[in-house]
Amino acid sequence: MPTRTHLYRYVIILSVVLGCCSFSNATYVEYFSDNGYGNPVSTLQHPAAEHYQGVTYVAYSGPHEDPYVAAYDHTLGKWIGPVHAGVNPMGKSPDQVDPGELDNHGRPALIVDRQGYIHLIFGGHGGEAKFGQNSFGTPGKGRQIHVVSKKPRDISTWETLENVSPFGTYSQWVKMSNGDLYLFYRHGSHRSDWVYQKSVDDGRTFAPEVSIIKHKAAAGSLTVHDSWYAWFDQGKGDTITASYVYHPCANPGHNAHRNNTYYMLMDCRDNSWSNVQGTPLKIPVTKESADKLTLIQATGTEKSNHGSCHVDVEGNPHIFFRFPGQIRYYRWDGKAWQKPTTIGADYSKGTDGDFIIDSPLTVRALLTQNHDGKAEVNWWKTTDGGLTWAKEATLFSRPDVGFQATVLARNAHPDAKMLICSKDPKQEHLYHPMFLIGEKGAIGRPADESSHLGDRLETIKAMPKSQSKAEAKRRKKAGLADDDS
């Protein structure tokens, strides 16, 4: 006769078997959420994901352009969230279906501090004039907002910290090896300086803004203003890199043109800046000093755009800049800037992403690209310092859509390298599925757990038809993108 212990064992085994059967019969999808809204992610607001103590945390714009956070536990193989983490003051209600009414500048950037608290910056497109005097530029819309999880490693509840300037957009976190946090952003709308604020206490307080790239009236012009788009990251040791492009901001006759490519470096030990040769720079850098001391390439009428920048073990920078339909790779070889090369010319449309430096000559790029009617997430590799590139593998693909990418997750797990969304140009709404992509493809989820839209799509169908397609065509014809203001 079975003992009570044996019966307990039978019950446990039966439960496991039934659980496995239920698990195997569940309908899985490749996306973890379907409520990415508008243009949910970008490589400019960064990072958008970080792997910390076995969990990858991701952030994106959801309904009303509010920030949403999800987490994937690699040990348990389970998703948590997404959780609504704050209110974007530029969001609108009801749901918009016209892309021309989106702002997108308030996308969240995410970082995890030394104690495991998760921080988001979001909601800003330069900040409104009602918040006071903007001493570094001109006000815009929204408000730069800083929220932090109430508990370490817990995305369930959030609180707002009133400790950063409201006049921010293109917010970017840089976390140093000692845990110090730097927050970089443009301090206002187009005609504004790029600044940073520093925290030495895990984001609880920040020092005042420091201007590093200056806006001003362009020399010799009554209508053009010197403006910039910049990208920041940790360099070698106690340094921070800045790669940037110039925007001749015209009024009247504003357009989205940008040109030239630039690079400089900050030494965090004394807050000094220098160019790639080590020549000291007077901060904030002006157009004239940038052209003289930090210019990589003058691109003329060819439009250049921000990319990402990392350094190799020798401290030499490698940089991606985006040009129409392509990414170009630049490398400082210790003496000069190597002639830029294009990665995958036949895979150029829709290209964006980030890269990893394995050695001064070996670099791997993870890029979203369109090819043969499919959107792909591809690994590319060079072993000769970027002179030639070869496609290594396709991690994920979908037909008849486009992908939007983030930069690589900070401290990325092999299974969770990059957060992306897919966009179907045929759909009549602005909601998009979100994917976390790694070496094994997308980290899937049961379909019932991935659905977070409720009846939103039914509500949208009942709304009057918008001019979304016409507005999208108008912006494209004008050369405008969602990060062009």
Per-residue pLDDT, 26: 81
271-283 pLDDT, tens digit per residue, is 999 999 999 999 9
Burial 155-192 (b: 16+ CB within 10 A, else e): beebeeeeebbbbbbbbbbbbbeeebbbbbbbbbbbbb
Task: Please count the structural domains in the chain.
Answer: 1
Average pLDDT over residues 378-407: 97
- Average pLDDT over the chain, rounded to whole? 91
End-to-end Cα spacing for the chain:
78
pLDDT band per the 50, 70, 90 thresholds, residue 485: low
Q: Report which of residues 53 and 96 the model is more confident about.
A: 53
How high is the pLDDT of residue 95? 83
Share of the chain above pLDDT 70, in %: 90
CATH number, domain with residue 362: 2.130.10.150
Residue 259 bridge partners (DSSP): 246
What would the pLDDT profile of 432-448 be if each residue is shown by its tens digit?
Answer: 999 999 999 999 999 99
pLDDT at residue 29, as a whole number = 97
Residue 2 has a pLDDT of 44
- With a cut of 80, say whether residue 477 has pLDDT above it: no
DSSP-based three-state secondary structure for 20: helix
Domain containing residue 100: 25-477
Span of 197-206, 377-386, 404-413, 425-434 with lowest mean pLDDT: 425-434
Q: List the single range of 56-60, 442-446, 464-468 with lowest mean pLDDT.
A: 464-468
Q: Is residue 11 part of a domain?
A: no
Confirm whether 75 is domain-assigned.
Answer: yes
Among 287, 243, 291, smallest CA distance to 264 is for: 243
- Among this protein's residues, is 170 annotated catalytic? yes
pLDDT band for position 349 (50/70/90)? confident
pLDDT of residue 347: 82
Kindly tell me if the per-residue pLDDT of 207 is higher than 50: yes
439 in any annotated domain: yes
> How far apart are alpha carbons 36 and 297 in whole angstroms?
36
Per-residue pLDDT tens over the stretch 63-73: 999 999 999 99
Is 15 inside a domain boundary? no
Residue 66 identity? D
Residue 14 lies in a domain: no
> Does residue 331 contact residue 263 with C-beta atoms inside 8 Å?
no
For residues 166 and 187, what is the distance between their CA atoms, to the nearest angstrom? Answer: 9
CA distance 320 to 309: 6
- Residue recorded with tokens 């070996």: 362
Is residue 17 in some structural domain?
no
Query: Residue 21 has what pLDDT?
Result: 42
Return the residue matching tokens 């920040």: 206
Is the residue at 171 inside a domain? yes
pLDDT score of 20? 42
**Of 46, 105, 225, 254, catalytic:** 105
Using an 8 Å Cβ cutoff, are 243 and 321 in contact?
yes
Averaging pLDDT over each range in 22-36, 229-243, 346-360, which range is the top one?
229-243
> pLDDT per residue over 208-266, tens digit each?
999 999 999 999 999 999 999 999 999 999 999 999 999 999 988 888 899 999 999 99
- Reported as a pLDDT band with limits 50, 70 and 90, residue 346 is confident
Residue of 185, 188, 187, 192 whose CA lies nearest to 232 = 185
How does pLDDT run across 81-136, given as a tens digit for each residue?
A: 999 999 999 998 888 888 888 999 999 999 999 999 999 999 999 999 999 999 99
pTM as predicted: 0.92
225 is catalytic: no
Q: Which of 52, 60, 72, 170 is catalytic?
A: 170
pLDDT of residue 65: 96
What is the band of 461 on the pLDDT scale with cuts at 50, 70, 90?
Answer: confident
Residue 485 in domain:
no
Residue 338 clears pLDDT 70, i.e. is over it: yes
How far is residue 85's CA from residue 67's CA, in Å, rounded to a whole number?
A: 6
